[in-house]
Amino acid sequence: MLFSRRSSGTLDTLVQAAEATRPGHSPWSDARRRFVRNKAAVTSLAVLLLIAAVCIVGPALLPHAFDSSDWDAMKLPPSWTNMHWWGTDESGRDLLVRCLIGGRISLLVGLLATLSSVAIGIAWGATAGFLGGRIDGFMMRIVDMMYAIPYLLIAILLVTLLGRDFYLVVLAITAFSWMDMARVVRGQTLSLRSMEFVEAARAIGVPTRRLIFSHIVPNLLGVVVIYTTVTVPAVILTESVLSFLGLGIQEPMTSWGVLIEDGTKVMDVAPWMLLFPAAMLSITLYCFNFIGDGLRDALDPKER
C-alpha cells in the first residue's frame, strides 16, 4: 500500500512536470486560458473595445460636428426623425457626437495618465525596494508625505495654477496617481531581491540598474497589469470630477465629466443630457473593474 501511494505521488509529479514542459505551456498561457473562461471579464473587454472603437470612428460617420450648433433644435429630445438620435444640448449641439468625442478625451486622459503613473511607480518602487536601507526609507517617506496631502485639492491647485490644457490636466492627475503603484512594486521587489536568480545575477556582476529593470521588473508584470486596470478607471473618474467642477477640459472640447456637469444643470427639463454621458461613463468604469477582477483571478498563483 505504501509503495502504491509513493508510486501514485511520483506519477502525479511526472505528469505535472510533463505538462509544464509541453510546447505552448507557460504561466502566461495558463493565465490567458483562465481569463478566457471568465465570461464577465471577456464580455467587459469586448464591450470596452466596442466603446473605444465607436468613440474613435463614430464621429467621422455622423452627419453632425461636435461643436456646431443648431439654434432651431435646442434641448431637442432623442428622436430618429431628425438625426439627433440622443437629442441635443442647450446650444443645439448633437449629444451623441459630443458623447463620442467626450469618450475619446476621457479614455485618452485615462490611458496617458495611467501609463505615466505606472512608469513612475515602477521605477520608484523597484529602486526603493531593491536598494533598501536608508535609500528605501527616504524614498518611501516622500511617498508617505505625499499621501498626507489631499489628492484632489492638489490636483485642483495644479490645474488652476498651470491652466486647463489637455496635457496639463494629464500632468496634474499623474502627479499624485503613481504612489499606490510605487508601494505595491516596492513590496513585491522586497520579496524578489532575495531570490536565487537575483543572487546569481549579482554574482556575475550585472549592474544594479540592469538588474532592476531586466530581472526584477519583468517578474512584476502580473501585479502591474492588475493594478493598471484599477488605475485607469480611477484616473478617468478623477478627470470627470475635475471637469464636473469646471477645472478640467474646456469648451469647445468636451469629456464625459463636462457633459455630466452640463446635464445636471438641466436634468429637470432635459434628462437625456445627463443620462447618456453618465451611462457611458458608468459602463466604462464597470468594464475596467470586471477586467481587473478577471486578470486578478487569472494571474493568481494559487489557481495554477
- Taking the C-alpha atoms of residue 219 and residue 201, their distance in angstroms, rounded to an integer, is 14
Domain presence at residue 11: no
Q: Is 219 exposed, middle or buried (0-12, 13-18, 19+ CB in 10 A)?
A: middle
Q: Answer whether 162's CB lies under 8 Å from 171's CB.
A: yes
**Omega of the bond leading into 252 within 30 degrees of 0 (cis):** yes
* Alpha helices (runs of H) in the chain, residue ranges in sequence order: 2-21, 27-37, 39-61, 95-131, 133-148, 151-162, 166-174, 179-192, 196-203, 208-211, 221-244, 256-265, 272-298
Q: Answer whether 256's CB lies under 8 Å from 154's CB.
A: no
- Taking CA 243 as the corner, what is the angle to CA 270 and CA 259, rounded to the nearest 5 degrees? 25
Instruction: Say how many C-beta atoms besides its own lie within 10 A of residue 60's C-beta.
Output: 8
Q: Answer whether 116's CB lies under 8 Å from 176's CB.
A: no
DSSP 266: T
- Taking the C-alpha atoms of residue 21 and residue 30, their distance in angstroms, rounded to an integer, is 13
Domain presence at residue 1: no
* pLDDT of res. 1: 43
Q: Answer whether 164's CB lies under 8 Å from 223's CB.
A: no
Domain presence at residue 66: yes
- Range(s) of the domain holding residue 63: 30-303
- Taking the C-alpha atoms of residue 179 and residue 139, their distance in angstroms, rounded to an integer, is 11
Domain presence at residue 216: yes
DSSP 79: -
Domain presence at residue 73: yes
Instruction: Say how many C-beta atoms besides its own lie within 10 A of residue 102's C-beta.
Output: 27
Contacts (Cβ under 8 Å, ≥6 apart) of 73: 82, 84, 88, 92
* pLDDT of res. 37: 86
- Taking the C-alpha atoms of residue 278 and residue 14, their distance in angstroms, rounded to an integer, is 55
Q: Answer whether 48's CB lies under 8 Å from 284's CB.
A: yes
- Taking the C-alpha atoms of residue 99 and residue 5, their distance in angstroms, rounded to an integer, is 65
Query: Residue 154's closest CA among 135, 179, 136?
Result: 179
* pLDDT of res. 301: 52
* pLDDT of res. 59: 87
- Taking the C-alpha atoms of residue 301 and residue 219, their distance in angstroms, rounded to an integer, is 13
Query: Residue 218's closest CA among 235, 204, 198?
Result: 198
The stretches in the chain having pLDDT less than 70 are 1-28, 163, 300-304
Domain presence at residue 196: yes
Domain presence at residue 154: yes
The domain spanning residue 213 has which CATH number?
Answer: 1.10.3720.10
CA R_g for the chain = 25
* pLDDT of res. 52: 93
Number of domains in the chain: 1
* pLDDT of res. 30: 74
DSSP 48: H
The three cell numbers locating residue 72? 432651431
- pLDDT tens per residue, range 208-230: 788 888 878 888 877 888 888 88
- Taking the C-alpha atoms of residue 105 and residue 255, their distance in angstroms, rounded to an integer, is 6
Domain presence at residue 22: no
**What share of the chain has pLDDT > 70, as a percent?**
89
- Taking the C-alpha atoms of residue 190 and residue 102, their distance in angstroms, rounded to an integer, is 41
- Taking CA 240 as the corner, what is the angle to CA 234 and CA 242, rounded to the nearest 5 degrees? 105
